[in-house]
Amino acid sequence: MALDKKYDAIVVGGGHNGLVAAAYLARAGKKVALLEAEGELGGATTSARSFPEFDARLSRYSYLVSLLPDQIVADLGINFKTLERSIASYTPYTNQSNGAHSGLLISQNWDQRTAENFQELTGSAAEGAAWQHFYGEIAELARRIAPSMLQPLKSAVKLKEEIALPQTWKYLMEQPIGEVIRDRFSDDLVRGVVLTDGLIGTFAPADDLQANRCFLYHLIGNGTGQWRVPQGGMGTLVIELRRVALAAGVEILLNSRVTEIDSGANGVSVGTKSGEKYIARDLLFAGAPQILAQIRGEGKPSSLEGSQMKINMLLSRLPRLKSGIDPRLAFAGTFHVNESYSQLEAAYQSAKSGSIPSDLPLELYCHTLTDPTILSPELSAQGYQTLTLFGLHTPAALFDKSPDVDKAAVTKAAIESFNQYLLDPIESVLAISQDGSLAIEAKSPLDLESDIGLPRGNIFHRDLDFPFIDTSGANLIWGSETSDKHIYLAGAGARRGGGVSGIAGHNAAMAVLAND
Ligand SMILES: Cc1cc2nc3c(=O)[nH]c(=O)nc-3n(C[C@H](O)[C@H](O)[C@H](O)COP(=O)(O)OP(=O)(O)OC[C@H]3O[C@@H](n4cnc5c(N)ncnc54)[C@H](O)[C@@H]3O)c2cc1C
């Protein structure tokens, strides 16, 4: 009979958080095994050659980085760089009075051109001033709150006191963000551009505090809230984390789907689908908490559904726009489509009642304008570009009836929504494979569940929580603890997890080390 393999800690799940947790523990001298269900590492942080004929390695799922603290990069010594985009966003719109096509271009740092764009849209300087004021306040809160993400959790009262920005705290944590946005801004389009950060991967109306939580995580990352382009694509992060984990002695076991977890007074025993057995003092579960609950035979934690379509495209060139702006400017930042405040609210109501929203709200981003290294030099020289489309308010329930037909319908709706603003329909600039197929791949929330184990396609594994202890979580110290003293959450579903941050992995490792 084979003997069980014995470790100090077993990490289940080789997404970026599992790798971060394993690397921290091994560097602290622990004997660590990491068990990953699939044949490759990365989970939602992978690069893939989605269109095999073309040497383009797209960030297949997650694509921009904001939440990863510099401290984790430095502690682990990973060679991973993110690049600033000079443009924050572009939002095309049709002028109500004369039907002309125009757009709101916002630079990363406030400048004269941005001020003029606000003036042209709203007819006054007031909205631009409101924008600067609002984001100035949030930037200060981001700077003060970010370090707490890698420390033990604090109570709401204590953290609020330490941050010492009571007004900003109130409107971000306590008052519905929709109400705040309506109060601070008067233009429907500007209000919508602000609101989008509360709705990424989150199926909620503007006045639901769930939108506040999502909004907060989108604006405090690494103390700046800036969304940056991962150099070399998202897979580079995983390659580097794997390198440091292996160097620290982590044993990485692929194709090892964990199907049994038993816990006793002295530790845990783990069984895989292929019949391997492992034992350890501690187990760090870096997949979704719903999967842990299933394996343990416990009730599933409550969760909002995932709510986004992800569409990856390779283009032979960028499409021209009806507004006449240079596409290299328009697509340099986040390109918002049909995301005015009223359109976002209408789309939510429509999806909630089971219909695909018309004028589907979308965000697009072009990786290759900032970092062409994900393309072969030949494709780059020929002018090829990548485009990533993230469709909002497309909850998993929209796809349940007939997954393939529904996915085709939502993809069509997304393309029609985008094409409203293009002079060249997007189909006309997609790269074409030799068999005539177009270089476009779509992932519905149900695909995300079957491909990478995100329950109902929820990109944060489950509902985001505020980064402090409030009415829930009184038993938490690092945000990773579970009801079993040998089992920790180390993935996005831990408190303060969610997004490409490594925070959940770091904090779970610290919780284990604190119990030595
Ligand atoms: C389409 C999409 C776009 C996104 N865009 C962004 C973005 O631009 N920026 C951003 O910050 N965030 C983004 N996110 C969110 C972000 O990618 C995730 O929140 C984050 O990557 C989660 O990382 P993780 O390591 O916690 O978990 P995951 O990446 O989900 O990895 C979990 C791993 O556990 C493995 N696993 C699960 N169950 C078992 C088991 N029983 N046994 C063994 N292994 C198991 C899985 O195979 C997987 O490899 C996006 C997500 C998606 C899906």
C-beta separation of 64 from 238 below 8 A: no
The mean pLDDT of the chain is 96
**Nearest atom, ligand 1, residue 64 CA:** 8
pTM score of the predicted model: 0.97
Write down the pLDDT at residue 303.
Answer: 66
Check pLDDT > 50 for residue 156. Answer: yes
Residue 303 DSSP class: -
Q: How far is the CA of 193 from the centre of ligand 1 (A)?
A: 26
Neighbours of 355 (CB within 10 A): 11
Q: How far is the CA of 103 from the centre of ligand 1 (A)?
A: 34
pLDDT in tens, 413-458: 999 999 999 999 999 999 999 999 999 999 999 999 999 999 999 9
Q: How far is the CA of 357 from the centre of ligand 1 (A)?
A: 27
Q: Which pair of structure tokens corresponds to residue 53?
A: 């004929």
How would DSSP label each residue in 409-436? HHHHHHHHHHHTTBSS-GGGGB-B-TTS
Q: How far is the CA of 110 from the centre of ligand 1 (A)?
A: 33
Percent of residues, the chain, with pLDDT higher than 70 = 98
Pocket residue to mutate for ligand 1, from 59, 273, 459, most atoms within 8 A of Cβ = 459
Torsion of CA 184, 189, 193, 194, to 10 degrees: 10
Residues near 41 by beta carbon (within 8 Å), at least 6 away in sequence = 14, 15, 19, 238, 242, 252, 254
Alpha-helix runs per DSSP H in 232-302: 235-247, 289-296
pLDDT band of residue 299 (cuts 50, 70, 90) is: confident
Write down the domain spans for the chain.
5-81+231-303+467-514, 98-228+305-455
C-beta separation of 294 from 22 below 8 A: no
- Domain 5-81+231-303+467-514: CATH superfamily is FAD/NAD(P)-binding domain (3.50.50.60)
Write down the pLDDT at residue 3.
Answer: 57
Among protein residues, the one whose CA lies closest to atom 21 of ligand 1 = 44
pLDDT band of residue 301 (cuts 50, 70, 90) is: low
Check pLDDT > 50 for residue 1. Answer: no
**Nearest atom, ligand 1, residue 491 CA:** 26
Mean per-residue pLDDT for 148-159?
Answer: 97
Check pLDDT > 60 for residue 287. Answer: yes
Among protein residues, the one whose CA lies closest to atom 34 of ligand 1 = 13
pLDDT in tens, 37-79: 999 999 999 999 999 999 999 999 999 999 999 999 999 999 9
pLDDT in tens, 315-343: 999 999 999 999 999 999 999 999 999 99
Q: How far is the CA of 273 from the centre of ligand 1 (A)?
A: 21
